[in-house]
Structure 1
Amino acid sequence: MTDEPTTPRRNFYGRVHGKTLRTSQKQYLAEDLGRLTLPGVTQADNPGRIPLDVAAITAGRPLWLEVGFGGGEHLVHMAARYPDVFLIGCEPFVNGVAMLLGKIRASGAENLAIHPGDVRDLFDVLPPASVAKCFLNYPDPWPKARHHRRRFVTPDYLQALARVMQPGAEFRVATDIPDYVRQTLEEVPPAGFDLIAQTGAGAAWEDWLSTRYEQKALREGRDPHYLTFRRQG
């Protein structure tokens, strides 16, 4: 018998590997990923699920979180624009992680860390009310109705997100999928968030950097939607 806390067993449905990595990307993963990976998040690294010391990680700066950073352009943009905050980016897709590492090398950004895995593992070890802002940019749409429960905007994810966000913290969602907007508007408020703004093409946030996923959507005739929520309390 053991009294040690354990992480619940979870299914993970997203992609982990894609196209063959370029030589430079393999180099980034070998040389940079270790030092940029946030320690104490995985079950293997932290079997007791001891809460992270956020103040030590961020050196007292506000903590921002990006869930699924894709190719990393938005994450690096925010790190460069806001040097007085600390960002954590979560992304299990190895190709996206490799792309981000290349952008970090080019930018020299130092105020960020990576969790190359399921964001729920990070939620397990973040203290309550520790995140000041969260970004969900062009998440996997899971378009088939039977797969909608795999979307981020479902109670499993949102309740965990609400727990770690500070009262008044901002949660931004960008998507080009109307049904994702529908589900976001239905699911996010009951988790403890107020809708602050809902805008469309040409009316993104003042500090928004259009990502490659948004550019693809625009080329294919799909309109972006930007939703801003605030954590209650």
Structure 2
Amino acid sequence: MRSDSVAGEHDRPQGDLRRRGMIYGRRSGHKLRPTQASLLDTLLPELRLDPDGLPSPLTGAFSSPVTQIWLEIGFGGAEHLLWHARRNPSVGMIGVEPFINGVAKLISAIDAEKLGNIRVFDGDARLLLEALPPASLDRAFVLFPDPWHKKRHHKRRIVNSDTLSRLAQALKPGAELRLASDIPDYIRWMMEHARHVPALAWLAEHPEDWRARPADWPQTRYEQKALREGRTPVYLRFRRV
């Protein structure tokens, strides 16, 4: 089976998502190496979460014992997700990413390092958010999402009042949500939409709280690119109240 046939499984939004439109762009980039394509056929089905059949509790989705569940939406090259998975073996990491090249990179690392605390959803993040049980997450991340610069495309931004409300519902009281962007317009957008979700309390008390990455927040390649190109990232932390 070709690698793009795997990518096509979630190409079209399901149910009422068709009416809401897509929130991501292309599904694949450069041609995958044969070993990566093979892992998409063999290992990805074992790691893939099914929103229609999530285990209860969610900790049952992992092959290794975990005590917490963290979710990353749009893990890109998986640098951030893998950093946490390696350092927190008792945390079950759920990574959401529709870009199949990023998924291939992640599952290649999972296979090489025999990581049992990562599960993957390679479709539209909204499908998973709508299926997550209330108060099931201990932490969530949406880091440097596609800003969809054009105003007519703003509706495709993953960070909005609806997804933030669903994240707040899925987070346990006291759990943390982390957002990041290097696009000033999107940063303002994030703050404005978060303001409409009373269950999320912004943790910043002074400018350094959003200008500097915490020690347990590894840099991603998107952040590195932003810094090279002269853009200033902003790091937003919220607590589920």
TM-score by length of 1: 0.86
Q: Shift of residue 7 of structure 1?
A: 4.5
Q: Structure 1 CA distance, aligned partners of 2:122 and 2:213?
A: 27
| Aligned equivalent of 1:20, options 3, 27, 31 | 31
CA distance in 2, matches of 1:103, 1:220: 29
Q: 1:219 to 1:199 in 2, by over 3 A?
A: same
Q: Which runs of 5+ in 1 are unaligned?
A: 1-5
Backbone CA RMSD of aligned residues: 1.8
Equivalent residue letter for 1:12: M
Q: Indicate if the aligned counterparts of 2:202 and 2:238 stay in contact, CA closer than 8 A.
A: yes
Show CA shifts across 1:130-165 (max 9, x none): 111001111011111222221122122112212111
> How far, CA to CA, are the matches of 2:66 and 2:103 in structure 1?
26
Task: Name the residue aligned to 1:70.
Answer: 76
Q: Deviations over 1:48-105 (max 9, x none)?
A: xx66411422556111000010011111110111111111000111111111112223
CA distance in structure 2 between the aligned counterparts of 1:13 and 1:64, rounded to whole angstroms: 22
CA distance in 2, matches of 1:76, 1:30: 21
**Separation (CA, whole Å) in 2 of partners of 1:64 and 1:164:** 11
**Pairwise mapping of residues 112-127 of structure 1 onto structure 2 (< 5 A)?**
112-127=118-133
Q: Can you list the C-alpha shifts for 1:162-197, whole angstroms capped at 9, x where unaligned? A: 211111110001211111111111111322211103
2: CA distance, partners of 1:154 / 1:82 = 29
Partners of 1:52 and 1:127 within 8 A in 2: no
Tell me what 1:9 maps to.
17
Percent identity over the alignment is 45
Aligned match of 1:32 in 28, 36, 43? 43
- 8 Å CA contact retained: 1:128, 1:165: yes
User: TM-score, normalized by length of structure 2?
Assistant: 0.84
Aligned-partner SS, 1:188: helix
> Which structure carries more helix by proportion?
2
In structure 2, the residue matched to 1:195 is 202
Using the TM superposition, give the Cα deviation of residue 12 of structure 1 relative to its aligned residue in structure 2, in angstroms: 1.6
Out of 110, 113, 116, the residue aligned to residue 107 of structure 1 is 113
SS for the counterpart of 2:236 is strand
- Note the C-alpha offset of 1:110: 1.3
Mind listing any 5+ residue stretches in structure 2 that lack a counterpart? 1-13
**Count of paired positions:** 217
Residue 229 of structure 2 is aligned to residue 225 of structure 1: no
